[in-house]
Amino acid sequence: MPGMPKLIALFVLLLPLAARAAEPPLIETTRDDTSISIKQGDKVLAKYQLQPDKNAELSVESACYFHPLKTPAGITVTEVAPADHPHHRGVFLGFVEMRGQVDADFWGWGEHAPKDGRRIVNREIRKLHDGSANGFVAINQWLAGDDVVIDEQLEAEVRTFGNVTVLDLQYTLDPKFEIRLPRWAFSGFCVRTRRDGNMQAFGRDGRVDLPDPSHLKPDSDWPAAMWYGYQFRGVNRAAGDGGVTIGVAVVDHPKNPPTWWHNHRGIGMLNPCIAAPTEVRLKVGEPLVLRYRVMAYDGEMPRERIQRLAEDFRKNYPPN
């Protein structure tokens, strides 16, 4: 056919354009005085609060947390300042009891160590960039009054894989004096989730039916695992919505200290707790490094994809 070579040439010319059109939009970032917003196209994937949200009725002074964290479709999986625990703040890091030269509760409970005047503040943002993944480095300080308790460096990166938003986090905590973290069932890194819809817990082997742990009994926590997650069926995306299915999962890293999980469905906590198996000591000149991957997804839990992403994170993060 005489016209076939021209058609083939046109197809070859248009193929890269079609491939680019099928690719998801690049992830972009914007910053103002109070937060960093991470977007893909017109959808916000995550927001990192540099200042406490004035619209949230938080009972603590700390900022430096993520909320909202959203699925690729734009559905929020986190909560901040819920009525039952107004110190909970999306995706956050804090310890409920810290003993040393200065005692402190940066979690925000305030029952066993002082929380007043204990606040996590941002000092600087570095390496803010756009692309297929969005990343930044936050330089934060944990303060007791005017005294620095911990210098924190947070490395954060956001990307999407199909129906999964992935948030990778590496916290480097440099204590200014020796700190003891007494044994607690809960504490440390936490994702405070929503709780509506039909909520079920999952792990790498399927549904998890373990009872909710007691906050006073570390031995009641869930055992160490590569990851745990919650799925929510029939949640309202907006007023009048018939309900959708979404979920969230958290991956522990093998280089973190030994960890049990304070996963409480009734409170909406996914909390890999390094202080549950035994007390932890932070020493001057020996920074504590904690690494976690958080995944927010649309639809039924893509367990095979979650498992692959968990294995990749544990093997290859941080990249060399």
Parse the chain into domains and list their residue ranges.
28-316
Tens of pLDDT, residues 276-292: 999 999 999 999 999 99
Looking at residue 17, what is its pLDDT?
47
The CATH-assigned architecture of domain 28-316 is Distorted Sandwich (2.70)
Asked which of 104-118, 129-143, 204-218 is least confident by mean pLDDT, the reply is 129-143
Mean pLDDT to the nearest integer, 5-25: 53
Q: 22 pLDDT band (50/70/90 cuts)?
A: low
Six token digits for residue 76: 């929020």
Per-residue pLDDT at 15 exceeds 90: no
Nearest to 63, CA basis, from 135, 176, 140, 174: 140
pLDDT in tens, 212-230: 999 999 999 999 999 999 9
User: Is the pLDDT score of 239 beyond 70?
Assistant: no
Q: Which of 56-60, 91-95, 204-208, 235-239 shows the lowest per-residue confidence on average (mean pLDDT)?
A: 235-239
Is the per-residue pLDDT at 139 higher than 50? Answer: yes
For the stretch 68-102, pLDDT in tens is 999 999 999 999 999 999 999 999 999 999 999 99
